[in-house]
Every structure is written in structure tokens, then in C-alpha cells.
């Protein structure tokens, strides 16, 4: 839930500056928004990857973003 809250508050985590700019542009253009967060060391033994992604999909025809997905990169 912490990752989702950070994503919702526009803290994109561990992404490059170019991806941050793409996310900022997406807020007005309606494109998808991607965040990436490192898994804390104490949880890594329970995870298949070392990070988790949070993606909010593009806006629909009404201008609403209806879906945010949280997953491991290996699930993409």
C-alpha cells in the first residue's frame, strides 16, 4: 500500500530523469504513469524481484484513469 500511496502522491521512486519527465507530461496528456520502487532488504527473501512497478493506465474517453496495477517486472 505504501508504494501505491507514493505513486498517487507523484513520487515515482527509482526511475530515471527522462521517465520522470514522461510521467509529468502524462499528467496533462493522459498517458500512462509508471513508478518503480526497490523492495526493502527485509522483504527480498519473499519476493521474486528486487523491485515493484506501479502503473496507472491512460485516461479513457471521459478523461478518467480507471486502473492502477502493482506488479513485479517479471510479471510484465
DSSP 13: B
User: pLDDT tens digit string along 23-53?
Assistant: 999 999 999 999 999 988 887 787 778 899 9
Mean pLDDT of 2-27: 95
Give me the residue spans of the domains in the chain.
Answer: 2-75
Handedness of CA 76, 59, 15, 52 (dihedral sign): negative
Mean per-residue pLDDT of the chain:
91
Mean pLDDT of 18-22: 97
Residue whose C-alpha cell reads 524481484 in the numeric block: 49
Amino acid at each position: 500500500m505504501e508504494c501505491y500511496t507514493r505513486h498517487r502522491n507523484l513520487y515515482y521512486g527509482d526511475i530515471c530523469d527522462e521517465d520522470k519527465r514522461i510521467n509529468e507530461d502524462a499528467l496533462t496528456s493522459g498517458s500512462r504513469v509508471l513508478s518503480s520502487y526497490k523492495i526493502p532488504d527485509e522483504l527480498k527473501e519473499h519476493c521474486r524481484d528486487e523491485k515493484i512497478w506501479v502503473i496507472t493506465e491512460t485516461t479513457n474517453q471521459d478523461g478518467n484513469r480507471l486502473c492502477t496495477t502493482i506488479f513485479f517486472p517479471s510479471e510484465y
